[in-house]
Every structure is written in structure tokens, then in C-alpha cells.
Amino acid sequence: MDSKQKQAEKARPYGLLKPTALGKIPGRFLLHQEALPHLPVPPLQQTMDRYLLTLQPIISEEELNHTQELVAEFRKPGGVGERLQKGLERRAKKTENWLSDWWLKTAYLEYRLPVVVHSSPGVVLPKQDFQDRQGQLRFAAKLIEGILDFKTMIDNETLPVEYMGGKPLCMNQYYQILSSCRIPGPKRDSIVNYAKGKKQSRHITVVHNFQFFELDVYNSDGSPLTTDQIFIQLEKIWNTSLQTNKEPIGILTTNHRNSWAKAYNNLLKDKTNKESVRTIEKSICTVCLDAPMPRVSEDIYKSRVAAQMLHGGGSRWNSGNRWFDKTLQFIIAEDGSCGLVYEHAPSEGPPIVALLDHIVEYTKKPELVRSPMIPLPMPKKLRFNITPEIKNDIEKAKQNLNIMVEDLDVKVMVFHQFGKAFPKSEKISPDAFIQLALQLAYYRMYGHACPTYESASLRMFRLGRTDTIRSASIESLKFVQSMDSPDKSVRISEKWHERTPAHMLNLTWLYNLLSETTYLCRTCLNSNLLVPKEEQLQNIPSFTSFCFIKCRSTRKAGRKLRTCRHLELFVRCSSHCSCSTNTAPFLILFNFLLTAVLCRPVPSVM
């Protein structure tokens, strides 16, 4: 890698913050919300047809025939399917978005595994030049000022409206990412949001050496603190939290959600603890000043810092220096590494990426405003009374987290062979190119297609979030099978255009690809009034068949790829490879994916 490439890599966040295809137009970004269309409910017959198409590449002919019989019974006029469909349509008329509430509850709040690793993404930002405490605190101060600048745009509704394909997108998620927090519950969690209302949050939470502080980031006149002011306050926090023997109260948030809910209720029985927890929950965000990790080589460092952003390294290192239920946690270490871990329930990635892009650019700006020479109050240290029961909860959380950290392999990899320019030159969507390479890798390993999906945005609809494109299809299966055909000299672009036009058309008509079968099932679960007892979920074969369960048990291989992007790995065709130059890119990427996604050595199968 030459000096220009190194400089370019250093100047941008590691792979996640990439230029977006979204257009942005200045304006008051909530004014268009009412004009956004409601999410449509696809017709039942179309849903059933697509369901059968989804199953074709992943089940046997016998299983498909049996499923067709179940579907025929389900879709009969006046039958269960029609009644559930009408219930879904009634829900759509009464709500702003018939899907969003179910999506939030099912995908996130009812999910009982720990948010750490399982659902909270980690993001690595460009490594900074500092190697000491002063540099760490100075950068943290500038980063906090950048957060407040972005918050001002949200509060004043001056954030540019995002457009895709000439159509405005729902901007509601931008109101969910600041001053919000997840609250554990015994069966379902909840989200609290203090961004709206007369009394908005004026403070952030700062964590150092497992000790939590409330830092007010606004002057008495309502203006945000400057970098110099924030730096002074951070120094005060640092100097009053030098002890390293404190109980890592934050590690409780890493536990299984049911266990954490029980510990949470125990914790809040004490008045002091309750006040401290509420202060954290109400804060704009959390800033974690991490202890340095042992020095390692550059290649190992990239994987190490990715793990740090995901989970903090375990109880021995920085995992207790977090409150993982907080939506936004910015992490800055003494060695110049920095990034973010965010709780996924309130928002998808794009608003987070927009915030991070703004912050990264903001930290490069020189400090122009002279700080007013006025004394600032001492940041408030948040106190916790640790009872023997809470101490026991902390020890259990430590053990569980350390097992999870030890069980997780994180290897950051960078693919240098080619970029998105190649598939674009062949008139292929880069996203679809990666998807088929993943399917090819899986097919080569196991000899059959797998149920897989790709996330797709629904923000063109009011309160839209994401849903799934069922990307395994007969066309994609034939495509990966053709890669093992005796004639490998056929141009890859010819195979692509022959095999995937239907898939690309489905990508365009996104709203027709809603997983409505799942939500017909959800309608049945949530409204016993819609159908008689004998027609509830457990008594409907269409919702209990093996094929329906298999269809929903998707593998999202791309999720693993998010944390495996930045280790340099060069995988080339071997000298005896017989593939043509047009098929080589697919096979090179396939080999890379076998190593990155499946964590196995690259086999000689090209």
C-alpha cells in the first residue's frame, strides 16, 4: 500500500462510513412527514406466490408439494388466510405504519440474548495521532462538541432531508438516537426517549475507570460548551476517577436480558442507585474514556480495536466502562483508537452513519471560538450502593461476558483485489454482487442453497425502518451452480443478465417484498378476536410447518462481514487456475469470503 493509499485509509472510518447514494436537500426535515405514503399491505395471493418462490431453492420437491397443499388450503376464499389478511388491512388503516411497532418489538425488544455482540453494532473510527491522556481528552472534547452541533440541527429541524430515487425518506429515526435508552424488562424491554418535551437533556454521561459522571454540556444561556470548556471538565473527571478498584456496575448491562431485568429492579430499590441510573438513561449520549490495551502489531490491532468497540474486551479490560443499553456510546482510548457501539432498537444504520460522518468532519475543524472565562461547576459523580446481592449479580455478569468474549472470534479483513467499480463496469449492482458471492461460498461449502436475506430500507414510507429481501431464489441457485459447470469461460456478465433479471426487478419494487407471511402469523398471535380459537396460530398448519420455520431461519452472512473488513488479505488465482479473467473476480471474492465469513483457511477450489 503506497503513502497515498495509507493516507486515504487513515482519513476515513474503517469501511462502515462510506459515501451514500442518498440525496440531501436542506429544509425543515419533518415538514414532509405527513405527506409520506403509508406502508401498503401486499395482496394475499401475491404474498403466497412469493412465499412459494422463496421456498423453491431451499427445500425438496416433496416438501414443496406438501407446502403447496397447505398454501392452497390457507388461501381459499373465506378461509383463514383471507380473514387474517383483512385483520392486517384493518390494522394498516388504524396505524401510521402497520409494521414498525411489530418490527421494533419482535426484532429487538423481545429478543432475550444480550445486546452485546448479538445485536449492538460496533463501529471503528479513524485512528487518531495522540498517544497520551491530553490527546485523548482533547479529542473527546472536540467529538462531544461535534455531537452537540449535530443535535442542534436535529432540534432546529435544519438537518437536510434525505432523498432516494427522487423521493423523500422518513427522518423519524433521527429523533430516536439522542437522549434515548433501552430499559430491561422480564419478557420485553422498552425504550425511553427524552429528546422531546419542554425539559430536554442538557448533559452527557462520561465513564472512566468504571466510574460514571454527569457532565452538563450547556452554559446557563443555553449555548453549548466549547471544546476548551469541555476539555477542562473532562480533566476534572479524569483527576477524580483515578482509582481502578471500583465495581464495574456497567457490566450488568451485558447480561441476558431476563437476568439484567431482575438485577435492574434490585439495583433501583436503592434511591441513590435509582437517581444515578435515571441520570444515565436521560443523558444525550455516553462517552467512554477507555484504559489503554496492550500494544500489538498493526494487523492484530485492527481486529483488537474492532472487538473493543463490540464488547470492550471483557471484564478485565473495558467492558465495565460501558452502559450498553444507552443508544449511543462513543469510545476513545489513550492509544488513539476510537469508535462507537450503539444499541440497535431505536434506529437502523443510516442515521448513525450520518451522525458519525458529521462528527468525523467536525473534529478536523480548527477551534475558532474563544471560550468564555467563567467558572464551570464540577461534574457530578454518580454514586452506587453495592449490596451483596448486586455484587453477586456483577460477578455473574462478568462470568457470562467473559465466556461470550472468549467464544467470539473477530478478524478484521480488507479485500484489496478490486472494489465496486468492477461490478459496476459489468452493469451489476455491487450489493447484489456481494450477495451472490456469499451464496456461492455457502453452496461450495455445503452443496445446497441456504435461506438468506438482505436488509432493505422502508424509509420511503412513514415511520419505515427495514425489512428483508429473500435473496435466495431459483435464479441465484442456478447462477452459483453454473459457476461449477464444465464451461467456466462463459462471461460472468452473460450469466448475470441471464439468471437474475427477476431478482433485480424485485429489488426495485421493494414494498412488494415485505415478509407479509410472517406478519399474517403475527396478526394471528396478537389478535385472538380475528379468528376463532381453533384457527389460532398453533392450529394453523401453514404457520407450524417445517418449511415455514426453515424459510424464517435465515442466515444473514453480511452481518459477520461488518466486523471483518480491515485485515489486509490478498487472495489470488493460483497459477494453474483455468478460470477466465471474467469469472476470476467472483472466485477471488468467493475465496476471501470463505476465510472471512466462515473463518476457515482458503481452500484450493477455484
What's the CA gap between 125 and 135, in Å, rounded?
16
CA distance 117 to 111: 13
Determine how many CB atoms are found less than 10 A away from the CB of residue 361: 10
Evaluated on CA atoms 128, 122, 12, 331, the torsion sign reads negative
Residue position matching grid coordinates 401453514: 542
Q: Nearest to residue 191, comparing CAs of 95, 311, 323, 327?
A: 327
Q: Are 170 and 350 in contact (CB under 8 A)?
A: no
Count CB neighbours of 574 within 10 A: 10
Which of 358, 442, 377 lies closest to 203 in space, CA to CA?
377
Cβ(554)–Cβ(79) below 8 Å:
no
**Residue 344 bears catalytic tag:** yes
CA gap 508, 514 in Å, rounded = 13
Q: Do residues 319 and 325 touch, judged by C-beta distance below 8 A?
A: no
CA atoms within 13 A on the CB side of 334: 13
**3-state DSSP call for residue 114?**
coil
CA distances from 318 to 250, 311, 371, 579 (A): 10, 8, 32, 48
Helical ranges in 254-387 per DSSP H: 257-267, 271-282, 298-311, 349-362
- Based on DSSP, count helices (H) and strands (E) in the chain, helices before strands: 22, 16
Q: Output 431-438 pairs: Cβ under 8 A, ≥24 positions apart.
A: 432/500, 432/503, 432/504, 432/507, 433/589, 434/558, 434/589, 435/471, 435/476, 435/558, 436/476, 436/479, 436/480, 436/500, 436/586, 437/586, 437/589, 437/590, 437/593, 438/557, 438/558, 438/593, 438/597
Torsion (CA) 298, 562, 344, 454 in degrees, nearest 10: 180
How would you classify residue 325: left for phi > 0, otherwise alpha for psi between -120 and 50, otherwise beta?
alpha
- Of the candidates 195, 182, 41, 196, the one whose C-alpha atom is nearest the C-alpha of residue 104 is 182
Q: For residue 342, what are the contacts with CB-CB under 8 A and spacing of at least 6? A: 120, 121, 123, 177, 327, 328, 329, 352
Is residue 304 a contact partner of residue 411, using CB atoms and an 8 Å limit? Answer: no
Cβ distance 340 to 330 under 8 Å? yes
Q: In sequence order, what DSSP letters do the residues of 310-347 get, joined into one string? A: HHTT-TTTTTTS--TTBSEEEEEETTS-EEEEE-STT-
Using CA atoms, how far apart are residues 287 and 44, in angstroms rounded to an integer? 48
Residue of 32, 208, 344, 566 marked active site: 344
Query: Catalytic site residues?
Result: 344
